[in-house]
């Protein structure tokens, strides 16, 4: 299968695949333009098209702008493979970031699931829907927040105490961020070039979000001083 994979369909779903085979495929297919998802014996291999990669990179650029303009420390993980042998689950997010736990990952070049925290935020581009329950895998890996974008709508899901995701109107990593505004900028890419949109988004963050965050911090510090 590996030798002739370039001739295979863009979406393959296999059943009854041992964990050892999944790990072998991860190594054998490393560097190829593929997304490999494993869930308790079910193995899905998908090629990633231009539209998928465009949205992943574009939304990732917005997150980078947010952290730069607001001086938020961040550690980027891209599409790092996360897998947990005991739960027989594994996947690669489209983008992922350590934000609340950035300090614990600072300077690290490898990820150890046994001692490192899961990413605080993962981005899931849902253009070609997976046949497997990727949200269930994220939950098993204890990723606290997922942004899901289907090419039209951007939705935020937070991991609850029950171990399941619930849709939220606000982000855990960026609680002051109006998600609908981010969605609007994403949708404007249909008629406006990326550079213009990224500059506009950066300007919007500086003029709208930065003052709000500064005001909120000032109020909190004022309350602490009053005490």
Q: What is the pLDDT of residues 65-86, one digit of tens each?
A: 999 999 999 999 999 999 999 9
Strand partners, 89: 39, 84
In the 8-state DSSP scheme, what is residue 117? P
End-to-end CA, the chain:
67
Beta-carbon count within 10 A of 117 CB: 16
* pLDDT tens profile 73-122: 999 999 999 999 999 999 999 999 999 999 999 999 999 999 999 999 99
Confidence of residue 227 (pLDDT cuts 50, 70, 90): low
């Amino acid at each position: 299968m590996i030798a002739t994979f370039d001739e295979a369909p863009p979406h393959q779903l296999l059943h009854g695949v041992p964990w050892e085979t999944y790990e072998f495929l991860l190594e054998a297919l490393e560097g190829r333009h593929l997304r490999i998802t494993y869930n308790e014996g079910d193995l899905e291999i998908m090629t990633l098209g231009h539209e998928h990669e465009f949205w992943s990179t574009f939304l990732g650029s917005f997150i980078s702008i947010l952290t730069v303009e607001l001086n938020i420390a961040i550690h980027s993980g891209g599409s790092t493979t996360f897998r947990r042998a005991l739960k027989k689950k594994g996947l690669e997010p489209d983008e992922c970031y350590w934000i609340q736990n950035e300090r614990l990952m600072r300077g690290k070049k490898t990820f150890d699931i046994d001692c490192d925290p899961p990413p605080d935020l993962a981005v899931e581009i849902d253009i070609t829907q997976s046949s497997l329950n990727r949200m269930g895998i994220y939950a098993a890996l204890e990723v606290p927040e997922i942004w899901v974008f289907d090419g039209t709508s951007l939705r935020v899901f937070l991991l609850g105490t029950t171990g399941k995701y619930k849709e939220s109107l606000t982000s855990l990593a960026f609680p002051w961020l109006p998600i609908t505004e981010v969605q609007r900028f994403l949708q404007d890419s249909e008629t406006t070039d990326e550079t213009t949109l990224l500059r506009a988004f950066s300007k919007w963050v500086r003029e709208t979000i930065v003052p709000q965050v500064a005001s909120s911090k000032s109020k909190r510090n004022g309350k602490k001083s009053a005490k």
